Amino acid sequence: MRTDRLRWWHLPAVAEMERAIFGPEAWSEGLLWTELAAGHDYRAVFDCAGDGPDRIVGYAGVALNDHEAWINNIAVDPAARRRGVGTRLMEDAIARARASGVKSVFLEVAVDNGAAQRLYDNFGFYGIGLRKNYYQTTGTDAAVMRMDL
């Protein structure tokens, strides 16, 4: 496996993964394009096994400014879970935030996504708030989490 910058030509595969993982709350290919065009830093983990092209098994996007970083999106292909892909993406996102000199990293996570919350807890994130009905299609609340660097 290798981690590399996500490029525009990867977006169809990422959008397909979004739909498979997040269903009605998935980000569209157009929204992902907007994220890249805005200069947000997206990275992907590629599975380099086999004779075919490298396959994206996870991705994460980070928006950085002078004072804080937001992990906008993070997802791991269900077939690649429990192989350290999520941990690799989080380590990379936090390293990029730290290198940029920000003081805090934030994210939002569905309150019913216990597996993701446990991953974030392991990195030192803690809850700071709740966004009611944040996920518009399902009405699911989002926990807002913060990590101080």
User: 126 catalytic, yes or no?
Assistant: no
Write down the catalytic residue from 35, 42, 108, 134: 108
At the topology level, CATH places domain 2-105 in Aminopeptidase (3.40.630)
8 A C-beta contact, residue 47 and residue 57 = yes
pLDDT digits (tens, 9 = 90+) for 23-48: 899 999 999 999 999 999 999 999 88
Q: What b/e sequence results for 37-64 when a residue is b if at least 16 CB atoms lie within 10 Å of its CB, and e otherwise?
A: eeebbbbbbbbeeeeeebbbbbbbbbbb
Phi, psi at residue 96, to the nearest 5°? -65, -40
Taking the CA atoms of 132, 138, 140 and 146 in sequence, report the sign of the dihedral they define: negative
Please give the Cα distance from 58 to 130 (Å, whole number): 26
Catalytic residue of the set 42, 120, 126, 134: 120
pLDDT in tens, 92-144: 999 999 999 999 999 999 999 999 999 999 999 999 999 999 998 899 999 99
> pTM of the full predicted structure?
0.89
108 is catalytic: yes
Residue spans per domain, the chain: 2-105
